[in-house]
Every structure is written in structure tokens, then in C-alpha cells.
Amino acid sequence: MTAVTLETFDAFEEISPLIGARVHLNKTDLLSGEYGEPLRDLLEQRGVLVFPKINFSDEEQVIFTKTIGEFMPELAGQKVYDISLDPKVNPNRDYLKGSLYWHIDGTMNRSPIGAAVLSSKVLPTWGGNTEFCNTYASYEALPEERKLEIEGLRVVHAMWVTQLYHTPEPTLKQLEEWMRMGETELPLVWKHRSGRKSLILGNTAQRVIGKEPMESALLLHGLRDWATQPQFVYSHEWSLGDTVVWDNTGTMHRAMPYDPDCGRLLHRTKTTGEDPFE
């Protein structure tokens, strides 16, 4: 049997010119692993893949995730992470409030996250779309002089910065607890082995090294505004059973506001990134 490649793979449709593809494969096909490589290639090209109402169980989601990369368990060892603001489901609900703002997962990790797989288990009563922006495409669309200006710049990322978005007046105890997670230094422009480049931005980005605070803020916020223009963005309205995969090395994402007490629940799995941050 001839192996499926992206050139011969036709079971998808582009959602918009610069981001997103809707994939039309059944669960058996997805779990077989036969489509792992073309889906990886498609993900790198499109940033986000949507599998409508595929209705993965947790076990099936783990199996599928392993077909598209090296499986990465959570820091606590669990295979599936509950994304919920219900404290009975996720005791770290306050940490998840930062997900309402543009971010890249794992900027504090030593090893980057590659692909992330998200499945809908409980729908919100209102709101709750997940938005994605393509930071490959947004980098490539920058004017050449802007690319030269930001080439080689490095940015300090910190988890405590994300918490200030939703809790701007923390107690000293809260701030000290957040700061225990430390800081990391990452390039502003991520150079991938494929030869392509993407932007590392989001709400963990605290400051550009070597820039004055106001200049740093204008640079980071300006690039975020550029990267989140409508042509680079896809907003997914969840149906029960949907699965969405995004390339965490080349997209940012955020949850849109929703009722925090509605029980909205998504299950996430992920792969290890193959390109180091450096």
C-alpha cells in the first residue's frame, strides 16, 4: 500500500488563506497512524487542524496524539489535562485565568511543547470560543526592515506576568508565590529546522533585553497586535466532541470570555516540540 503524503492527502479543506484546515477523516483512520505524517505536515503549514465531532475518549485522544509526535505527559505525570475553571475539576483554576489572553503554552518549560490536542467535553453556556493566530504567517508578512530590526532580540518570559492580567493588585504573598516559578529567556524570533521562523510572544513576555521599559512594551504589544490581525486568526466555536490540534511552535491562542461557573471542560494532550527554543 502506498504511504499517504501531504501531496496525496485530500481529506481536508482550508478554513482561511493563512490559518486553519478542517480535516474529514473518521476515528478509525485517525487512530490507525496511517495519516500521522501528512497531518504533521499539514499542521506545520496551516497552524490549526479541526476534527469536527470526532468524539475521542481520553484513551483514544492519547493514542491519536502519539501518531503525530512524541507524547509529552503533564508535569505531574498525568496524560490528560482538564481545562476547567471548576475548582473541583482543576484546583489550579486561577492559573488558567491567564488563558483568556494571547499566549504560547510552555514558555517556562525547558523543552517546548510541539502540538497540542484539545477535545470538547462540556460546552459553555455562552462564549468560550478558542482563538488561534498563526505566528509563522504573521512573521513572514512583516516588512523586511522590521524583520531586521527584531532579529537577534531576546525576551524575558515569566509566569507571574500572566497573572497580573486578571489580578492586577495581588497581595505580596500571591506575587511571591507566582514568582517562585522563575523566569526564562527566549528569542523573539524562533528559528526552526525547517528554515521557517515564527514569533514568540504572548502574555508571558515581560521585557525585551537591552530595551528601555517603554520601548520594550511598545515593541512587544505592537508585534502582538500585528500577529493577531484578522487575516492571521481563526476562532473556533466548539461543538461537543470536537477536537482541535494546534502547532504550539507557530501559533498563539486564547479562550474567549465565558461564564466561569458553567462547567466548560476541555481535555488536552500534547507532544514534545522537536525544535529547541534556541
Residue 63 one-letter amino acid: I
Mean pLDDT for all residues in the chain: 94
**Average pLDDT of span 162-191:** 94
Q: How far is CA 217 from the centre of its chain?
A: 22
Per the model's pLDDT, the better-predicted residue between 205 and 92 turns out to be: 205
Angle at CA 171, nearest 5°, toward 176 and 74? Answer: 50
Q: Which residues pair with 158 in a beta bridge?
A: 183
pLDDT for position 1 = 46
pLDDT for position 69 = 97
C-alpha cell at 254: 486564547
pLDDT for position 2 = 59
Predicted TM-score (pTM) of this structure? 0.94
Per the model's pLDDT, the better-predicted residue between 2 and 53 turns out to be: 53
Least confident of 38-47, 68-77, 200-209, 241-250: 68-77
**Average pLDDT of span 117-132:** 97
C-alpha cell at 248: 504550539
pLDDT at residue 155 greater than cutoff 70: yes
Q: What is the pLDDT of residues 221-249, one digit of tens each?
A: 999 999 999 999 999 999 999 999 999 99
CATH class of the structural domain 81-238+247-272 = alpha beta
pLDDT for position 22 = 98
Residue 106, sorted as left (phi over 0), alpha (psi -120 to 50) or beta, turns out to be left
Q: What is the pLDDT of residues 92-116, one digit of tens each?
A: 777 788 899 999 999 988 889 999 9
Task: Say if CB 199 and CB 167 are below 8 A apart.
Answer: no
Per the model's pLDDT, the better-predicted residue between 111 and 173 turns out to be: 173
pLDDT at residue 166 greater than cutoff 70: yes
pLDDT for position 65 = 98
- Burial pattern 143-175, b for ≥16 Cβ within 10 A else e, equals eeeeeeebeebebbbbbbbbbbeeeeeeeeeee
What is the percentage of the chain residues whose pLDDT exceeds 70?
99
Domains of the chain: which residue ranges? 81-238+247-272
Question: Which H or E element spans position 40?
Answer: helix 36-46
pLDDT for position 92 = 74
